[in-house]
Amino acid sequence: MLIREATEGDWAGIWPFFHEIVAAGETFTYPLDLGADEARGWWFPAAPSRTVVAVDEAGTVLGTAKMNRNHMGNGSHIASASYMVDPARSGRGVGRALCEYSIEWARAQGYRAMQFNAVIETNVYAVRLYRDLGFEVIGTLPEGFRHPKHGYVGMHIMHLAL
C-alpha cells in the first residue's frame, strides 16, 4: 500500500465509497444526500490542508484521508483529520495506515495536538483504532448524533497531544 497526495483524478475512485459511507448515515455528520461536486469540494480543501489516498499496487484507491486545521486564529495550532476506507477493503490496515500518516503529517507541520470533533460512539472500530494510537476521549456530546439503526447516540471529542 502506498499513501500519496490525492489528485483530482482520484475522485473517481473515492466517490463510490465516499457516497456509500455518507449515505449510510452511520459515521459522518455530512448530509445524507450530499452530491459528488459538493462532496469533492469538502474533501479537497485548499492548502495548507491536505488530502491523501492509500492505493494498492494496481493504483486502486483503498481509502482516503483529509487533514486540516481544526480551528482558525489562536486555535490554529490544533490539527484534525477525517478518514474513509472503501468498505470492500476494510480489515486490511488501511485506516490505521492513514491515521498514522496524518499524525506524522500534523507533527511535521508543527501542530501541537490533533482533535477529532465528532467520533460517533457506535463506530467502535474507529474509537478502538484512535485509542490504540494514543487518542483519548475528552468529552462526549450525549445524543449528539442520530444514528439510523441505534437512534440518538453520543459523539466523542478525541484528543492526542503531539
pLDDT at 78: 97
Quick check: helix, strand or coil at residue 29? Answer: coil
94 touches 63 (CB < 8 A) = yes
pLDDT at 53: 98
Per-residue pLDDT in tens (0 to 9) along the chain, 162 residues: 999 999 999 999 999 999 999 999 999 999 999 999 999 999 999 988 999 999 999 999 999 999 999 999 999 999 999 999 999 999 899 999 999 999 999 999 999 999 999 999 999 999 999 999 999 999 999 999 999 999 999 999 999 999
Angle, alpha carbons 59-65-66 (nearest 5°): 130
Residue (of 43, 22, 51, 55) closest to 148 by Cα position: 22
pLDDT at 7: 95
Give me the residues paired with residue 141 across strands: 155
pLDDT at 119: 97
Q: Which string of DSSP letters, residue by residue, matches 42-104?
A: HHSPPTTSEEEEEE-TT--EEEEEEEEESSSGGGTTEEEEEEEE-GGGTTSSHHHHHHHHHHH
- Alpha carbon separation from 121 to 30, 62, 63, 80 (Å, rounded): 16, 24, 21, 18
Give me the residues paired with residue 54 across strands: 3, 63
pLDDT at 67: 97
The three three-digit cell numbers of residue 151, written as one number? 437512534
pLDDT at 161: 98
For residue 56, give the amino acid letter: D
